[in-house]
Amino acid sequence: MNNTILDIQDLKVEFPINIGTVRAVDGVSLKLNQGEVMGLVGESGCGKSTLGFSILRLLRPPGRIASGRILYHGRDIVSMDEKEVLKLRGRRIAMIFQDPLTSLNPLFSIGRQFVETLQTHEKGINKKQAILQAESMLESLGISKERLQEFPHQMSGGMRQRIMIGMGLILNPDLLIADEPTTSLDVIVEAQFLDLLADLCRQYNLTIILITHNLGNVAQLADRITVMYGGTLAEVGLSGDIFHTPLHPYTQGLLASIPNIKLDQPELSPMEGSPPDLVNPPTGCVFHPRCPQVMDICTRQRPPAFQKNGHQVSCWLYR
């Protein structure tokens, strides 16, 4: 059966700033099974990227993990010393970012950047072996190996993003965190990239956390979906369940505001209001000021995660 690869327990991440403390992630618990694709969805500022960064302990100061545990194969990343974390980064857990132009070094050829990645992490690998590995990686990405000589500016956006994922995968990690990998891509290139990601996932038996603000992107790829709002988990469930029978009013609102080209849906129904201020979050449920089904209890008490029809949903409606 499924093994748990990542077990996040009651994680809290804070950013102390001059006017107070931003509670970017506020008590998130989430389990990831080996080999699954988890779509992590929410609006900007909901804490989804911060959650991704915390897993690799890449939070930029003053951001810090205030409490909680992140168990990776049973070992707690939060309490590890920096040396141990370095061993995980890249080798076991890889991360790719939204904009490949800022993540690739413009001064070095693609080949050199592959070699550097390999040699930093694997002692004793010589340049020739490294190049060979890079070539075979490029092949599985559908890029000709001649292009190793080229520099990032000579490639198109889609190709650069494929190079990024190749660099993430060359050390054979088992967990990939992809933070909005397709946001800077055009629709056709985006579709190509998501297809590639699905292939790689099978080929390398990868577990993927796919962070995105667009539910449409993850629909076909993700096995499960986590919806985040205001630093907390609103709803977690199987992809089909989330799309067909969303329970949390926020998930419902999010789905109603996404254009669906295949449906006969003459109008979108946007959600009222805007995301909460995380320095002074609303009392009770963080979503209550925007919630169409708000009840008395929502303004006073924060909802725990309830189990309902296979969903995990943090909403008093399902108590």
Partner 1 sequence: MAEDLITVKDLKMHFPLQKGLLDNLLAREKLFVRAVDGVSFSIKKGEVLGLVGESGSGKTTTGRMILRLLEPTSGEVFYNGRSIFSYSKSEMEKLREKMQVIFQDPYASLSPRMSIGKAISHPLKIHALYDKQEAKQVCLTIMEKVGLSPASFLYKKYPHQLSGGQRQRVVIARALVTNPDFVVADEPIAMADVSVRAMILELMVKLKKEFDLTYLFITHDLATCKYICDRLAIMYLGRIVEIGPLAEVFKNPVHPYTATLLDAVPVPDPTYKRTHPIPKGEIPSAINPPPGCCFNPRCHLAQKSCREHEPELARVGEDHFVACPVMSIKLRS
User: Rule CB under 8 A: which residues touch partner 1?
Assistant: 43-44, 142, 156-159, 186-192, 194-195, 213-217, 219-220, 222, 239-240, 243, 253-255, 257-262, 266-271, 274
- DSSP secondary-structure letter at 266? -
User: Which C-beta is closer to partner 1: that of 72 or that of 250?
Assistant: 250
User: Which C-beta is closer to partner 1: that of 58 or that of 268?
Assistant: 268
CB of 265 to partner 1, least distance (A): 8
CB of 242 to partner 1, least distance (A): 8
Q: How many CB atoms lie within 10 A of CB 160?
A: 20
User: Which C-beta is closer to partner 1: that of 244 or that of 319?
Assistant: 244
* Helix intervals (H) in the chain: 48-55, 82-88, 100-103, 110-121, 127-140, 157-169, 187-204, 215-218, 239-244, 249-256, 296-300
User: Which C-beta is closer to partner 1: that of 77 or that of 194?
Assistant: 194
CB of 217 to partner 1, least distance (A): 5
User: Which C-beta is closer to partner 1: that of 179 or that of 190?
Assistant: 190
Residue 116: burial class (beta carbons within 10 Å; 0-12, 13-18, 19+): middle
Amino acid at 101: L
CB of 199 to partner 1, least distance (A): 13
CB of 147 to partner 1, least distance (A): 14
User: Which C-beta is closer to partner 1: that of 240 or that of 310?
Assistant: 240
Parallel/antiparallel/unpaired status of strands 175-179 and 207-212: parallel
CB of 185 to partner 1, least distance (A): 9
Q: Are 271 and 289 in contact (CB under 8 A)?
A: no
Residue 87: burial class (beta carbons within 10 Å; 0-12, 13-18, 19+): exposed
CB of 253 to partner 1, least distance (A): 7
User: Which C-beta is closer to partner 1: that of 76 or that of 272?
Assistant: 272
User: Which C-beta is closer to partner 1: that of 83 or that of 262?
Assistant: 262
CB of 47 to partner 1, least distance (A): 14
User: Which C-beta is closer to partner 1: that of 1 or that of 261?
Assistant: 261
Torsion sign across C-alpha atoms 247, 250, 251, 253 = positive
Question: CA 47 to CA 51: how far, in whole Å?
Answer: 6
Show Cβ contacts of residue 220 under 8 Å, excluding neighbours closer than 6 positions.
Answer: 194, 198
In sequence order, what DSSP letters do the residues of 79-99 get, joined into one string?
A: TS-HHHHHHHBTTTEEEE-S-
Q: How many CB atoms lie within 10 A of CB 204?
A: 16
CB of 44 to partner 1, least distance (A): 5
CA within 13 Å, CB half, 143? 27
Residue 270, Cα to own-chain centre: how many angstroms? 24
